[in-house]
A = this chain, B = another copy of it.
């Protein structure tokens, strides 16, 4: 199916843990020479004599120079992540130590791994299909529990199983139809058209469900953008801080790593929300905004999935409800400062809060989560499309299935039906990697991090 990749037989090495200083850092070595290369550096034991899935403590020494005291994990082919011989070296977590060990392994005969090459090898060795392999990258990059859950479901084969079942049924039908072609003079039908129609209907429903899951899947993977808008002094900054401070207290216990790249994110009920801070924008452009009005601020937030309109509970929503509805936005009206004013207007369609005291903020969070789920449940075992590449391929599958269904209605000959079925099969195969090109694979895996 695939041409041999360049360097496919090489033994590769990379840092598998994040760069930086930590208690430990893990270096992964995979390939036919993994045991030989690491074994030459490892003192105290002959690693080649040890069984798979065992741990060994020892000193790495290169030309008499001590590199580190390490623990090595042995995984013998095919019982490893890549399906090859794999050794993971757990070193002291100093970048200098890790670099020295990696360079010693390279001098010993390995080469530095390309991004995603370990997972690519796992795919090529049949340990994972392409959809599963891509979910590994998604799991690593997941920014929320829901994202991690969806990716793990795919890694464990949930999505692939659904596609494989569909694909196998289409293949068996396709084979029967192609058999008819060999007997085309005799006008026989091996493939029962009623059964085929039934299958295509089922496949169409399943594909449609998967396509529909992409909206939620995409949201789960990439987060929901929420624009907080409102007049000056409505309390946007206070609300933002109230939302974020609670969140930070939880996140900062471990890492807080995403804060560098994403401005303000909130994890509510396992769903990632990205807050667009119009409060921040306002501070620098107060005059302009005041002149042009909130409409302008809304335009800027056109790209947001959800608009959160904050108003002063004394003043009410004004014309904003109509404005938001006419723009077709998904929105939440939030009346603020209920604690301050006796004469607060209780708007039944709004969430009434006090950003300062935190009153009502939980209800607001609940409303946000409801808007995302809209009756869909994330906790089910259903397969979910989270990957744009899979979505595009499924759109093609749906088109091909529609063509087959039309063809059946029009009683077109078997050879033409077979063509459309083959198109559907092609795009199904592209998702799981049964059908793909080496360049395409290279592109997909190049988006992985090094060491995976």
By Cβ-Cβ distance, the 10 closest A-B pairs, closest first, are A23-B452, A19-B255, A18-B20, A18-B22, A23-B451, A17-B17, A53-B55, A16-B23, A95-B255, A18-B18
* Distance, CA A48 to CA B145, complexed state (A): 29
Is A75's beta carbon under 8 Å from chain B? yes
Interchain CB contact (< 8 A) of A95 among B19, B55, B156, B258: B258
Chain multiplicity (copies): 2
Most buried by B among A14, A56, A112, A452: A452
Contact of A96 among B26, B102, B147 (CB under 8 A): B147
Most chain B beta-carbon contacts within 10 A, residue among A67, A74, A254: A254
Q: Is the CB of A254 within 8 A of B99?
A: yes
Contacting residues, chain B, for A386 (C-beta < 8 A): none
Contacts of A92 in B (CB 8 A): 136, 139-140
Tell me whether B21 and A25 are in contact (CB under 8 A): no
Q: Closest chain B residue to A113 by CB distance? A: B23
Known: A17-B18, A55-B73. 20 other contacts (CB 8 A): A14-B23, A16-B22, A16-B93, A17-B24, A18-B20, A19-B255, A19-B257, A22-B140, A23-B118, A23-B140, A23-B451, A26-B26, A54-B54, A55-B55, A66-B156, A88-B90, A92-B140, A93-B452, A95-B254, A98-B254
B18 and A21 within 8 A (CB) = yes
Assess whether B19 is in contact with A24, with CB atoms less than 8 Å apart.
no
Q: At the interface, yes or no: A367 with Cβ under 8 Å from chain B? A: no
Q: Is A441 an interface residue (CB 8 A)?
A: no
Q: Could you tell me if B255 and A141 are in contact, using CB atoms closer than 8 angstroms? A: no
Chain A, interface SS category = mixed
Given the interface pairs A95-B255, A96-B142, A148-B97, the reply to whether A17 lies near B22 with Cβ below 8 Å is yes
A295: Cβ under 8 A from any B Cβ: no
* Residues of A89-136 contacting chain B, CB below 8 A: 90, 92-100, 102, 112, 118, 136
Q: Shortest CB–CB separation between residue A279 and chain B, in angstroms? A: 26
Report the separation of the CA atoms of residues A21 and B257 in the bound assembly, to the nearest whole angstrom: 8
**Nearest CB in chain B: distance from A15 CB, A:** 6
CA distance A452 to B100 in the complex (A): 21
Q: Which B residues are CB-close (under 8 A) to A18?
A: 17-22, 25, 93
The CA of A143 and the CA of B98, in the complex, are separated in Å by 11
Choose from B14, B15, B54, B69 the contact partner of A152 (Cβ within 8 Å): B69
| Residue A372, interface by CB 8 Å | no
Q: Mark A131-172, 1 if CB is under 8 A from B, else 0.
A: 000001001111111011100110110000000000000000
Provide a sorted-by-A list of 9 A–B residue pairs whose CB atoms are within 8 angstroms.
A14-B23, A20-B20, A22-B449, A66-B152, A66-B153, A92-B140, A93-B140, A95-B254, A99-B253
CB-contact partner of A28 in B14, B23, B143, B451, under 8 A: B23
- The contact string, 1 if C-beta is below 8 Å from chain B, for chain A 1-30, is 000000000000011111111111110100
* Chain B residues positioned under 8 Å from A149 (CB to CB): 65-66
Q: How large is the interface on A (under 10, 10 to 19, 20 to 34, 35 or more residues)?
A: 35 or more
Instruction: For the complex, give the distance between the alpha carbons of A28 and B23 in Å.
Output: 10
Q: Does A68 contact B (CB under 8 A)?
A: yes
Residue of B nearest to A136 (CB): B92
A71 beta carbon closer than 8 Å to chain B? yes
Q: Does A256 contact B (CB under 8 A)?
A: yes
Shortest CB–CB separation between residue A54 and chain B, in angstroms?
A: 6
Q: Are A75 and B90 in contact (CB under 8 A)?
A: no
Question: How distant is A233 from chain B, measured CB to nearest CB, in Å?
Answer: 36
Most chain B CB neighbours (cut-off 10 Å) among A17, A53, A73: A17
- B-chain residues with CB within 8 Å of residue A17 when the two chains form the complex: 17-18, 22-26, 93
Check A21 against B96 for contact (C-beta < 8 Å): no
Q: Interface digits, A268-288 against B, CB 8 Å rule (1 contact, 0 not)?
A: 000000000000000000000
Which residues from B are CB-within-8-Å of A136? 92
Identity of the chain B residue whose Cβ is nearest the Cβ of A261 in the assembled complex = B21
A20: chain B residues at CB < 8 Å are 18-20, 255, 257
The residue from B53, B90, B96, B449 contacting A23, defined by CB atoms under 8 A apart: B449
B155 & A69 in contact (Cβ 8 Å cutoff):
yes
Which residues of chain B are within 8 angstroms of A449 by Cβ–Cβ distance?
21-23, 93
Note all chain B residues with C-beta closer than 8 A to A66.
149, 152-153, 156
Q: Which one of A16, A18, A102 has the highest number of Cβ atoms from chain B below 10 Å of its Cβ?
A: A18
